[in-house]
Amino acid sequence: MPYEIAMGPRERKSPFFDRAVADGATHMTIYNQMYMPVSYGDSAAEYKRLLEGVSMWDVASQRQVEITGPDAERLVRYLTPRDLKDCPIGRGKYVPICDHDGRLLNDPVLLRLEEQKFWLSIADSDILLWARAIAKEGGYDVVVHEPDVSPLAIQGPKATDVVADLFGDWVRDLKYFWFKETELDGIPLVVARSGWSKQGGYELYLCDGTRGSTLWDKVKEAGAPYGMGPGAPNYIERLESGLLSFGADTLPDSSPFEVGFEKMIHLDREDDFIGKQALTRIAEEGPKRKLVGIVFGGDPVTFNEHPWVARVDGHIAGAIRSVCYSPRRQSNIGLALLETRFTELGTKLEFKGDGRSFKGEVVPQPLVKPGTPIPE
Amino acid sequence: MPYEIAMGPRERKSPFFDRAVADGATHMTIYNQMYMPVSYGDSAAEYKRLLEGVSMWDVASQRQVEITGPDAERLVRYLTPRDLKDCPIGRGKYVPICDHDGRLLNDPVLLRLEEQKFWLSIADSDILLWARAIAKEGGYDVVVHEPDVSPLAIQGPKATDVVADLFGDWVRDLKYFWFKETELDGIPLVVARSGWSKQGGYELYLCDGTRGSTLWDKVKEAGAPYGMGPGAPNYIERLESGLLSFGADTLPDSSPFEVGFEKMIHLDREDDFIGKQALTRIAEEGPKRKLVGIVFGGDPVTFNEHPWVARVDGHIAGAIRSVCYSPRRQSNIGLALLETRFTELGTKLEFKGDGRSFKGEVVPQPLVKPGTPIPE
């Protein structure tokens, strides 16, 4: 049963909105108070394009929280449990943000643009408010604001060729998560080797919202020889690859330990950071829940509208958070957030969804190994 | 050009979701990371029902931020520029929330449930994160969390009869914005005389999310003799009545002075509150922009997908934020956020939208006087 999304001025439009619509966007969501296209009406083609070709995505709703000023680095270090170590200019890092009770608030990518200028490229929660409150109440000498910066992602195995044709061969040598400030025919942007897929690619952080259509057109033209088409963060590929979807896979009180972020929680850091005490306690006690990969039988599912209750031997074990049919694993797959005692590999699960009953099993992640081709 | 809203587990569903869908919801938005029905497909009938009869709305996405603990009152007073004075239990207050630079972050209703237990019933921004950050960094002895509380609004001139039939005649004596904790056949809830319309009515704050369908059914049954039907926060009525839509009418850096909240900004308070210095400065200098009512000619407009640039004598004056055709004023109306020098009554505006050109004028608010009937 489809519902129409209400259009109006409360939600912002991306600088790429008009072009995404012209290219046939059919489904939208709202992410960080901004419309985001999530499908162009042919899910199979979008998946194939991402896996075997190249795809361009309007991900402007991945907003930036910019932190500048003499205390910028000190504030950034306080905001995340991850030890940034040297944190050079030009290198991005995936940095969980937690609150004082150790709850995961967001999982942005941090970009250091200058000695004292950082962006947090955020998932769907108001980290702008969080960072501002922390900065002001803590007396940090910084400015925290949302700059006019909107990412356009180019993802897939042929993304490198497209981006090299646009910017030059130097992009081939850019290491994963590194980035460079540059321009394209006068359009200011940041080119980063990153993106929410495991198929390789880049994100062009457009730094002038008035140039959205121009940038879209240039990228589209460069992609044409490679068969590029429009796409969006891909629901199937991300489940196959084990990329976290904050809010879909997590609960409001999820700790970073539930979702496999242990290696980014540096409790032995000498300096203080938000949530240090609480996270230390959770690490000692062990997380109550864990996010695990599952496979399950039955006819192919498309997606779940909401989480499904999962049972083990009749006991409620937690929730199936996200499911899909994986063309590459040739099975239904999903992510489940379960009480830790039910998360051992091989645990048998039972659950119902969309009026059907399913039997599944906890399996290792990623659910599909990188490089696995789509079967003929 | 309609787009389908993407359904999935990232956004939460309201406890009333299934019933709203069964009753024919056609259009959805996402508000506070929750799906919210905004239309049942017959805009004229929904408007008429609200103005002349009674309407029930799933407004569960108006989430609560609960603040409890020994320092709860002290924190609440620090969070808003409004002087709460005695602030008795059982009385709600509309309380702007500003940041340290005087930007409006939200415009919730505050409910004091106990001596040290408050709810902020919020518009669409993560005040939960804001309040938590302030509380923790400021060392307040409080717990800030989101309780399982979901409002169901009953609005319109016949709302009192419906709610009296459900709860008893005491609801007729409840003063505007006052509330009472009670239950309905064992369903725990708070009955408040409030709601986002000027047609009178109540909000039932459901305090047990598992009882959403049961409450919906009971309310629907009680409303049947009065011709009640489903509805949603009404775009036309709110423009006619001059109710602020946070995010639609405001910009990220809007101060409360831009939107007519002067009377709620108590700069002479002896105690400190967030934004006091900045708001004092803005009050002295005068706000750069003001939100004003406008009327304009031409064939009836339905709504605007995004703000429209407004010009005065060829100069860019600001933006038309929200427009509609008012059946009661029998004219196109709207709200415009304009540079203060362009906000005098009678100022002539020119603007374009949806490929059409319009001429309008700044007029007094409210755009339609309370009690004005719909013409035959």
B259 within a domain of the structure (yes/no): no
pLDDT at A1 over 70: no
A3 within a domain of the structure (yes/no): no
Q: Which residues in chain A are contacts of B4 at CB distance < 8 A?
A: 2-5, 26-28
- At residue A356 the predicted structure's pLDDT band, cuts being 50, 70 and 90, is very high
pLDDT at B1 over 70: no
- Domain span at B333: 288-368
Q: How far apart are CA A205 and CA A192, in angstroms?
A: 8
Q: How far apart are CA B37 and CA A179, in angstroms?
A: 41
pLDDT at B93 over 90: yes
Same structural domain, A59 and A153: yes
Same structural domain, B153 and B45: yes
Same structural domain, B156 and B226: yes
**Nearest by Cα to B183 from B215, B213, B156, B225:** B215
Q: Which residues in chain B are contacts of A124 at CB distance < 8 A?
A: 10, 33
As for the ipTM of the complex, it is 0.97
- At residue B376 the predicted structure's pLDDT band, cuts being 50, 70 and 90, is confident
- At residue A376 the predicted structure's pLDDT band, cuts being 50, 70 and 90, is confident
Q: Which residues in chain B are contacts of A1 at CB distance < 8 A?
A: 21
Write down which residue in A176, A207, A238 finishes a domain: A238
Chain A interface includes B349 (CB < 8 A): no
Same structural domain, A225 and A323: no
Same structural domain, B180 and B303: no
Chain B interface includes A299 (CB < 8 A): no
Q: Do A5 and B5 touch (CB under 8 A)?
A: yes
Q: How far apart are CA A126 and CA B87, in angstroms?
A: 29
Same structural domain, B53 and B156: yes
- At residue B117 the predicted structure's pLDDT band, cuts being 50, 70 and 90, is very high
Say what the pLDDT of residue A86 is: 83
B234 within a domain of the structure (yes/no): yes
Same structural domain, A328 and A229: no
A126 within a domain of the structure (yes/no): no
Mean pLDDT of chain A: 97
Q: Do A10 and B306 touch (CB under 8 A)?
A: no
Give per-residue pLDDT as tens, B293-340: 999 999 999 999 999 999 999 999 999 999 999 999 999 999 999 999
**Does the pTM exceed 0.95?**
yes
Q: Do B11 and A29 touch (CB under 8 A)?
A: yes
B110 within a domain of the structure (yes/no): no
Write down which residue in A203, A238, A273 finishes a domain: A238
pLDDT at B286 over 80: yes
Which chain A residue shows the shortest CA-CA distance from B14?
A306
Distance (Å) from the C-alpha of residue B357 to the closest C-alpha of chain A?
Answer: 19
- Mean pLDDT of all residues in A69-86: 96
A260 within a domain of the structure (yes/no): no
In this complex, which of B28, B132, B235 lies closest to A99 when CB atoms are compared?
Answer: B132
Distance (Å) from the C-alpha of residue B131 to the closest C-alpha of chain A?
Answer: 8
Q: Do A4 and B136 touch (CB under 8 A)?
A: no
Q: Do A136 and B99 touch (CB under 8 A)?
A: yes
Hey, which residues 71-110 in chain A have their CB within 8 Å of chain B? 99-100, 105
Please give the single-letter amino acid code of residue B153: A
Same structural domain, B231 and B312: no
Write down which residue in B178, B209, B238 finishes a domain: B238
Q: Do A9 and B305 touch (CB under 8 A)?
A: yes
What is the count of structural domains for chain A? 2
Same structural domain, B43 and B164: yes
Task: Specify whether the CB–CB gap between A124 and B126 falls below 8 A.
Answer: no
- Packed helices B127-137 and B72-79: angle between N→C axes, nearest 10 degrees: 120
Hey, which residues 116-155 in chain A have their CB within 8 Å of chain B? 124-127, 129-130, 132-134, 136-138, 146
B260 within a domain of the structure (yes/no): no
Q: Which residues in chain B are contacts of A9 at CB distance < 8 A?
A: 248, 304-307, 321-322
DSSP-assigned states of every residue in B124-148: SS-HHHHHHHHHHHTT---EEE--S
Same structural domain, B298 and B364: yes
- The CATH number of whichever domain residue A232 belongs to comes to 3.30.1360.120
Going by C-beta distance under 8 Å and a sequence separation of 6 or more, which residues neighbour residue A240? Answer: A326, A328, A329, A333, A366, A367, A368
In this complex, which of B4, B33, B37 lies closest to A27 when CB atoms are compared?
Answer: B4
Distance (Å) from the C-alpha of residue A170 to the closest C-alpha of chain B?
Answer: 37
pLDDT at A218 over 80: yes
B304 within a domain of the structure (yes/no): yes
Same structural domain, B153 and B232: yes
Q: Do A38 and B304 touch (CB under 8 A)?
A: no
Give per-residue pLDDT as tens, A25-62: 999 999 999 999 999 999 999 999 999 999 999 999 99
Task: Specify whether the CB–CB gap between A362 and A294 falls below 8 A.
Answer: yes
- Mean pLDDT of all residues in A277-294: 98
- The CATH number of whichever domain residue A315 belongs to comes to 2.40.30.110
Same structural domain, A53 and A174: yes
